[in-house]
Structure 1
Amino acid sequence: MNRLLKKCLASALLAGSVFSVSAAHAAPPQDLKGKNVVLVHGAFADGSSWDKVIPLLEARGLHVVSVQNPLSSLADDAAATKRVIDQQQGPVVLVGHSWGGVVITQAGNDDKVKALVYVAAFAPDAGQSINDMLKGQPAPVWASELHKDSAGFLTLSTNAVVHDFAQDLPVAEARVVAATQGPWFAGCTDDKVTEAAWHTKPSWFIVAKQDRMIDPHAEAAMASEIGATTTSIDASHVAMLSQPRAVADAIIAAASKVQ
């Protein structure tokens, strides 16, 4: 083998070694295999609202399922969530956005659930409904943009989605959110939690500082009340769409603690 060929082979081997090391550092560790994340969407949304977060969680080895809530009552949504929890093998981190926070507060009492993550969500106590929590507060501006159908289900206008629900998304993306929203039964705001899981399960809470649907100060107060590990991010109500990495990091932090 001549000297030039030896030199070329040595360079190729060295380049291959460097590439292998770089790739190893670039690949996220698959250190959370055997753990599950169940994602619960909120009102005026569906399971696709977690699309940007799911790949980030799966990259860490987590098994992820997004619930498709009927949005017809707390009992119905908690039952849908419970069916998904029942299918999981191993510990579950239960994550709820917005109205989904009420759902996980109820459904999170399942023995498989080891941690709760609230994302710009309501975290009621036992015997509380959303209306109980909001009693005495002025109606938000977006309330005038609600439309009720003949069966009593509510949807948000495209204008409200673009300017109040998802104002930090590109307009075209926000319009898709409006077009795919899940109608929410108006009576859900009176449904009361019977047993609040956060009393017995460790909790994490993401406060969305630019939230126009739920007052960020109320979110921070709820996080403090339930003793949650809190992350505040500069995001709208749909933090999982506008800041998916920050939301995924909080979920991963919770998953890292459960056994």
Structure 2
Amino acid sequence: MKYHRLALALVFSVAALTHVPSAEAAPSTTRIKNIVLVHGAFVDGSGWRPVYDLLARDGYNVTVVQQPLSGLDEDVAATKRALDRQDGPSLLVAHSYGGAIITEAGNDARVAGLVYIAAHAPDEGETETGNGQRYPAAGRDAITKTPDGYTFIDPARYHAEFAADLPAAEAEFEARSQMFTAGKVFSTPIVDPAWKKKPSWYMVAQADRIISPDLERMYAARAHSYKVEIPGASHSVYRSHPWEVASLIELAARTAPSGG
């Protein structure tokens, strides 16, 4: 695994220098050391543990946000609280719905760049629901709603739709411990998309059934993100491919402008 990760990092570094000048035009002389990880809907921050361990081992200061999933404004506020604790420029990294959160929170002057891991990156006035209708996801009907307006994934379908490349026992635990997510977060429009002003990196999960891979590609192309694609990866790519995810984050940390 160590050599696999080193090889991936080398590939990412070479690609960054040859294919994406828009995001990598001004490499930093020193790496960004602060990494803030934001989880998505139906999960909590513990899913970042494999990525956290790799980044922490490599000397990064890593913070995991535990936002309440009660509304976009509240979730952005929780992310900004984490940013307030950083001692310098930071990278915001998000999975899934977390992408909408960092798209707003990323306007903070301390944010040097944005890393989207199979995540939403809506434009001004767009919503996740609207974009999902334009690019329908294969497993979208697995999401259901409680009488008080919160959403969750049918536990019987969680493994197949959300985490097909995780062991069955791990997916079962995630299904039974998932966080209920306010339905309104998916229909709240973005006001000021930070990816229009900040460099970004994007990981596409090619077998994603919660967000269409074509929608992910659209997000990456529109933001002029440095993009990598992971064959066979489910929506849980941040858990099933932690080495690739950590390598992409570290690439961003080495090449993002350190001035924020």
TM range (shorter): 0.7 to 0.9
Alignment match, 2:165:
168
How does 1:1-259 map onto structure 2 within 5 Å? 35-136=33-134, 140=137, 142-234=139-231, 235-258=233-256, 259=258
Given that 1:33 and 1:62 are in contact with CA atoms closer than 8 Å, whether structure 2 keeps it comes out as: no
Native 8 Å contact 1:33 1:63 kept in 2: no
What is the letter of the counterpart of residue 40 of structure 1? V
SS in 1 for 2:50: coil
Aligned-pair identity in percent equals 41
Q: Contact (CA 8 Å) 1:34, 1:63: kept in 2 or not? A: no
Deviations 1:57-76 (A, max 9, x none): 11221100110111111111
Contact 1:32–1:62 (CA under 8 A) maintained in structure 2? no
Aligned-pair distance for 1:127? 1.5
Aligned-pair CA distance for 1:135: 3.5
Higher RCO, 1 vs 2 (CA within 8 Å, ≥6 residues apart): 2
Deviates more, 1:167-176 or 1:156-165: 156-165
Whether the aligned pair in 1 keeps the contact of 2:89 and 2:112 (CA below 8 Å) is yes
**Closer, same or farther in 2 for the Cα pair 1:170/1:82, shift >3 Å?**
same
| Alpha-carbon shift at residue 193 of structure 1 (Å) | 1.0
Cα 1:196–1:34, aligned 2, differ >3 Å: closer, same or farther?
A: closer
3-state DSSP of counterpart to 1:210: coil
Distance 1:157 1:196 in 2: 31
Q: Is the 8 A contact 1:32 1:61 kept in 2?
A: no
Note the C-alpha offset of 1:136.
4.8
Alignment TM-score, normalising by the size of structure 2: 0.83
* AA in 2 matched with 1:78: V
1:123-162 CA deviation, whole Å, 9 max, x = no partner?
1011111123234555x45343333223211111122211
Unaligned runs of 5+ in 2: 1-28
Query: TM-score, normalization: structure 1?
Result: 0.84
Aligned length, in residue pairs: 228
Partner of 1:19: none
2-structure distance, mates of 1:33, 1:229: 17
Cα RMSD (Å): 1.7
Letter paired with 2:87: Q
The answer to whether the Cα contact below 8 Å between 1:117 and 1:251 also exists between their aligned partners in 2 is yes
Report what 1:13 is aligned to.
none
Aligned to 2:16: none
Q: Is contact 1:35-1:63 (8 Å) kept? A: yes
Query: Structure 1 residues 143-152 or 86-95, which shifts more?
Result: 143-152
The code of the aligned residue for 1:67 comes to V
Of residues 45-54 and 129-138 in structure 1, the stretch that sits farther from structure 2 once superposed is 129-138
- d(CA) in 1 for partners of 2:189 and 2:98? 13
